[in-house]
Chain A
Amino acid sequence: MRPSFGARMRNSFGARMRDAAVVNLGVDTGGTFTDVVANDGTIAKVTSTPANPADAVAHGVEALSRERPALLAHGTTVATNALLERRGARVALVATRGFADVIEIARQARPSLYDPFIDRPAPLVPRDLRFDIGGRLDAQGREIEAWDGTLPALSGDVDAVAVCLLHADLDPTHERAVAGALRARGYDVTASHEVSPEFREYERMVTTVANAYLRPACAPYLEALRDLAIEVLVMTSAGGLVPVGEAARVPAALLLSGPAGGARAGAAVAAACGYPDAVTFDMGGTSTDVCLVRGGVPEPATGRNVAGFPVRLPALDVHTIGAGGGSIASLDAGGALVVGPRSAGAVPGPACYGRGGRLPTVTDADLVLGRIPHDAVLSDLGRLDVAAARDALERTGADAAGVVKVVDAAMEEAVRAVTVARGVNPRELALVAFGGAGPLHACAVADALGMRAVIVPPRAGVLSAVGLLCSPRRRELVRSYPTRADDPSLPMVATALADEARALVGAVAAVEIAYDCRYVGQSHELTVVSPDDFPAVHEARNGNARPGAPIEVVAVRARATAPAPLDVVDLPAPARTKVRGPAVLSEPDCTVWVPDGWIGAPRELGAWVLERG
């Protein structure tokens, strides 16, 4: 299919065309569009090319840069899609004798309490590709049985091998030897201590397997991007940029690459507007991502669940719900209006797209209510069909205002899940709205939660691409080191790890150390800057502390950070004037709904800050 450039929006926001060559680009691949933003503030949208996503990336680069750019920062769904669509490699698993089935047993829980037809995802390694070997460490990491050097006989059609041995986080000697021997035979091997050197074997095993599964599928794509710019960086799930070669080595770290860029840019814009504490609200077509931001920094997490697999690699603590503009509305047997989880997707899409969709969606309701202007033209779709939207709602017996009310309540619960449920009061926060539908629904959500303000960043429709340019270069290392918190060897271990992290990013890197701590006997950890902070953090997070109770360290973390390619304040600010609701603001890349009683004021960077009048 020929890519379409119909959606190109060069020089929107009136940014002047610069004579100088564009040097830095952020390129975010989405399901429908690939968004591009340059360091002079120009943006472009090109149609995504799912069969070969690199084509759209190249088209996006061409659209904004005449020459080979100095830097390309890329947010990609290549790893996510390969996992969701099960297009990865044929992986063999080598585990400690008696433990290879852990990849299928998982944590024994089933996904649905009441529906016996909802299954756990099929394991990424089928039974006939699970192998076990001798050798065993005890709970302190001491060898109690040596590995005898025997390797399993892997069949010829194996593309990649994952090696995960018990307690390898404490001592990777066995794993290193086994991985080395397999590599010597020509296999593409991921060993668990290389990607997730932390305890809890299922999470480590599934992370290792996911990486082995994704690498052959992702590496060719990522390597092919090398030529598009002098320096090519890729966004990780943790919201940090890594060189494309590192991304190709650990593609499991890219599974939440997409949402991370938006969360970073949303946090930066909110902080610039005087709201360092906020929630980012990225409402798209089929799903919505929310992330708590404190002190201008999106909250980190030590892992996320992707496609039913608990991948344990650093990530932003993005909470996703399966509702968005494309969610379908219906009435259930008890007379309640239900929105989602079914989605109209991009094809056929909402009824108003005129592509054959006959079921009413949130977007149809927004259009009928006039929150999306009736004369709106969506690139490639032409003018939206208001009559079709109205008919679809009527056929279902759903009221447009009701559909919006129900989806807004779902959004409200999503924001609660990252605030109230974690002991954070949303009244002290701003809501940063972006994505196609975020700025249409944000004020209602903020109202329901009593949040201080809604911030709509400039370029809200391509904010993830902006975030790619504005995210730091970053590497994070973790090492299992179970010991008492007062162990005098801890600082040495931390320093060594810090040096290792710095070496990966460069001498300019700033390094932060953190410790995963818990009270002795507890089964969960909190990450703190110093073990001395642990009781206070425990009190804040969990509502209680145990003065005088002994504390243990489980792992040490080091994070090396170098500056972002671009500071968000360096992007040109679009000109704005104050507006009073009710009003619809048609931005080049999104639509903003300002309800009655709300006032929108232009603020730093050209963001809108919406507040109750």
Chain B
Amino acid sequence: MLDPADLQVLIARLTGIADEIGAVLRRAAYSPNIKERADCSSALFTPNGELLVQAEHIPVHLGSMPAAVAAVIERCGDGAQPGEQYICNDPFAGGTHLNDVTLVAPAFDDAGSLVGWVANRAHHADLGGMAPGSMPPDATEIFQEGLRVPPVRLTSEVQEVFFAASRTPDERRGDLDAQRGANAIGVARFVEFASAPIDEIVDYGERRMRAALRAVPDGTYQFDDVLDSTGGTGQFGPARITVAITVRGDEIEFDFTGTDAQRPGTVNAVEAVTVSAVAFALRSATDPTIPANGGALRPVHVIAPPGSIVAAQPPVAVGAGNVEVSQRVADVCLGALAQAVPDRVGAASQGTMNNVLIGGAGWVYYETIGGGQGGRPGGRSGMSGVHTAMTNTMDTPVEAFERAYPMRVRRYALRRGSGGGGAARGGDGIEREIEMLEDVTVSLITERRVSQPWGLAGGEPGAPGENWFLPDADEARAERMPDKCTVQLHAGDVLRILTPGGGGYGPISESPPAP
């Protein structure tokens, strides 16, 4: 067994490889989505597909990448050859939603034995489908969302199919090249560790997680929450997610039995997304420094009933599962964990990514918008205008946005007072107004427009978000838009998005005034 210093050195070196893959990917990528917003992730895996180390990028990617590697090993692993790479984005075979494209490469040493696997994932802005951005809110089946690629060897023929499916093929080419190059560099470095006892890192992750779980009181903790709608025509009713978390010694179980069944809309998460959200909530509520590797998940058991909205089965659409169901799964897990470790968990954060997809002639633009973080124990108000839980992308600067697209930002401000009251107030959401300078198609996938981010320990909930359409920028004709929709806007029309505030923490009677 490695001594404490050698163990730490090995972790540092392997993590360095994952970081480098991520750095190369961002450096070489073409699209703003990867380059500027950093919507991408990278990791190394053991020969049997256990997560070894990963670079810290997007939480929703991190817990779900092992599913992609497992799918590649299952379907193509036997014939894998040095120098090859495999591609997949099929949510029902290792993916999350179609935009997230994962490239997996085997790392063979000179003797031809498999050292492990290298993988990276990047969000591609458009892979076809019925609306620009490949997350059509009114899709009911995955076939409407865009190109679905099961785990296959990445050949030049496959690439051509991939590019041809997109509304922005040049950008796809640049980004896929970057992904491939980043993995190749990762493989070259990983094989230097052919004789290293990498399994010990995974075991170490398990020891850390078990030590953290022993500090959590035994018991069963239950929590419920809702999604406002599941998208798709006539699917405007809420959907319920429920979890019962049971802690026994150094093991923990997340049981989602009782969660609503999947529906023919887009708000359905595949199980890998649910596991990501579980892993996020658990690290966040116990010890954020626990290495995110396969070992850390060994004492964690997830029961997600197949066919529910947290373990969707074909052929439902799943575009919003990754971006919205993931947020609510994190919320219910945190809500339950707050009962077990009250000093580590705050009130609910905004609980949505506020996805806005806009397409015009020859261009597609995608953004997510931050909101309020929940108030926290210890009298600490939530941060305002920030991405929370399962995403952490950066915004596109207003000046960059206006110079690149035929749109103008009229307002980009904090939604003051939207955070819930409490001894520690919830953070405020964001107000964002975009004026169209040409005719466009707009898709919105948003949540917490009906339900509110909950308060905790007596705190008030955060204000729900609001979506508005102002024809010809006319305030008098402002119309409320649903949480999920696709609309045609004309030049001069204004889209106004108000994102949710965070919930408050602690008694409202002790609340400071809104800042």
**Chain B residues whose C-beta falls within 8 Å of the C-beta of A109 in the assembled complex:** 386-387, 392-394
Q: CB within 8 Å of A: which residues of B?
A: 3-9, 11-13, 15-16, 19-20, 23-24, 27-28, 30-32, 35-36, 56-57, 59, 170-171, 174, 177-178, 181, 204-205, 207-208, 211-212, 280, 283-284, 287-289, 345-346, 369-370, 373, 376, 378, 380, 383-388, 392-400, 402-404, 408, 410-414, 416, 430, 433, 515
A307-339: CB near B (< 8 Å → 1, else 0) gives 000000000000000000000000111111111
Answer whether A108 and B12 are a contact pair too, CB < 8 Å, given A201-B397, A421-B19. Answer: no
A156-172: CB near B (< 8 Å → 1, else 0) gives 00000000001101000
11 A-B pairs (CB sep. < 8 Å): A109-B393, A113-B57, A114-B284, A127-B416, A200-B397, A334-B208, A336-B4, A337-B8, A422-B23, A523-B404, A524-B35
Q: How far is the CB of B278 from chain A (nearest CB, A)?
A: 13
User: In the complex, what distance in Å separates the CA atom of A482 from the CA atom of B402?
Assistant: 13
Answer whether A544 and B178 are a contact pair too, CB < 8 Å, given A120-B383, A336-B7, A336-B204. Answer: yes
Query: A334-B208, A335-B7, A412-B13 are known contacts; what are 16 more A-B pairs with Cβ within 8 Å?
Result: A101-B413, A108-B385, A108-B387, A109-B392, A115-B288, A119-B380, A127-B416, A127-B515, A139-B402, A199-B403, A333-B207, A405-B9, A420-B20, A421-B24, A519-B30, A523-B31
User: In the complex, what distance in Å separates the CA atom of A98 from the CA atom of B181?
Assistant: 42
Quick check: B383 and A115 within 8 Å, CB to CB?
no
Which one of A98, A120, A203, A399 contacts B410 once the chains associate, using CB atoms below 8 Å? A98
**Chain B residues whose C-beta falls within 8 Å of the C-beta of A403 in the assembled complex:** 5
Looking across the interface, which residue of chain A has its beta carbon closest to that of B7? A336
Quick check: B383 and A482 within 8 Å, CB to CB?
no
Quick check: B12 and A542 within 8 Å, CB to CB?
no
Quick check: A406 and B386 within 8 Å, CB to CB?
no
- The answer, yes or no, to whether A185 is at the interface (CB within 8 Å) is no
User: In the complex, what distance in Å separates the CA atom of A167 from the CA atom of B385?
Assistant: 22
User: In the complex, what distance in Å separates the CA atom of A544 from the CA atom of B28?
Assistant: 7
Answer whether A405 and B6 are a contact pair too, CB < 8 Å, given A127-B515, A524-B36. Answer: yes
**Interface of A (DSSP majority class):** loop
Quick check: B211 and A333 within 8 Å, CB to CB?
yes
Interface centre among A119, A333, A339, A401 (most CB of B within 10 A): A333
Quick check: A199 and B211 within 8 Å, CB to CB?
no
Looking across the interface, which residue of chain A has its beta carbon closest to that of B208? A334
**Chain A residues whose C-beta falls within 8 Å of the C-beta of B57 in the assembled complex:** 113
Quick check: B27 and A98 within 8 Å, CB to CB?
no
Quick check: A543 and B400 within 8 Å, CB to CB?
no
Answer whether A139 and B413 are a contact pair too, CB < 8 Å, given A108-B370, A402-B3, A410-B12. Answer: no
User: In the complex, what distance in Å separates the CA atom of A116 from the CA atom of B373?
Assistant: 9
Which one of A169, A421, A523 contacts B35 once the chains associate, using CB atoms below 8 Å? A523
- The answer, yes or no, to whether A395 is at the interface (CB within 8 Å) is no
Q: CB within 8 Å of B: which residues of A?
A: 98-102, 104-110, 112-117, 119-120, 127, 138-139, 166-167, 169, 199-203, 331-339, 398-399, 401-403, 405-406, 409-410, 412-413, 416-417, 420-423, 482, 519, 521-524, 541-544, 546
**Chain B residues whose C-beta falls within 8 Å of the C-beta of A114 in the assembled complex:** 59, 280, 283-284, 288
User: In the complex, what distance in Å separates the CA atom of A109 from the CA atom of B23?
Assistant: 18
Answer whether A138 and B402 are a contact pair too, CB < 8 Å, given A101-B412, A113-B59. Answer: yes
Quick check: B399 and A166 within 8 Å, CB to CB?
yes
**Chain A residues whose C-beta falls within 8 Å of the C-beta of B3 in the assembled complex:** 337, 399, 402
Q: How far is the CB of A416 from chain B (nearest CB, A)?
A: 6
Answer whether A105 and B388 are a contact pair too, CB < 8 Å, given A110-B383, A405-B9. Answer: no
User: In the complex, what distance in Å separates the CA atom of A417 from the CA atom of B22?
Assistant: 12
**Chain A residues whose C-beta falls within 8 Å of the C-beta of B15 in the assembled complex:** 413
